[in-house]
A = this chain, B = another copy of it.
Amino acid sequence: MKFLDIGEVAEKSGIKPSALRYYEEAGLISSVSRHGLRRQFAPEVLLQLKLIAMGKSAGFSLGEIGGMFHRDGMPNLPRAVIHAKADEIDRKIRELVALRDTLRHVADCPAPSHMECPTFRRLVDMAGKRGARRGKWDKPKRAT
């Protein structure tokens, strides 16, 4: 079986060796063995690193990402917890959509004061529903 040296992983993933060691120490990834001193990584680690990059870009901390995908790449967490994470991401998606639409709106709407523009306010309000912890606002849809 062909394993990867940390340098190869770095090259293929775009993540520096120092960061990879840091991730390993943090329990996000793990090397499968050693060749002398050198860590050997299974090729799957590249997939895990992509997942980690996605989580980071989404604004999750390494701790949170570690909570989603355990060191072997897969969550051994209860399904309910995973679904809760997925729901959290759904909320972020809604925020991002609102943010994107807000940006596009202000780029195109020539109103002097956007703060008074109802379209603008509605956009900003969109993501606010349930944005705080434990919202009391009843959201009729929790589909998917």
> Size range of the interface on A?
35 or more
* B96 lies within 8 A of A96 (CB): yes
A35 within 8 Å of B by Cβ?
no
The copy count of this chain in the complex is 2
Q: How far is the CB of A88 from chain B (nearest CB, A)?
A: 9
* B89 lies within 8 A of A100 (CB): yes
A25 within 8 Å of B by Cβ?
no
CB contacts under 8 Å to B, within A59-106, are 59-60, 68, 73-75, 79, 82-83, 85-86, 89-90, 92-93, 95-100, 102-104, 106
Q: How far is the CB of A62 from chain B (nearest CB, A)?
A: 13
* A107 lies within 8 A of B75 (CB): yes
* B115 lies within 8 A of A44 (CB): yes
* B14 lies within 8 A of A132 (CB): yes
Chain B residues with CB below 8 A from A128, complex form:
50
User: With A and B bound together, what is the CA distance between A134 and B60 in angstroms?
Assistant: 20
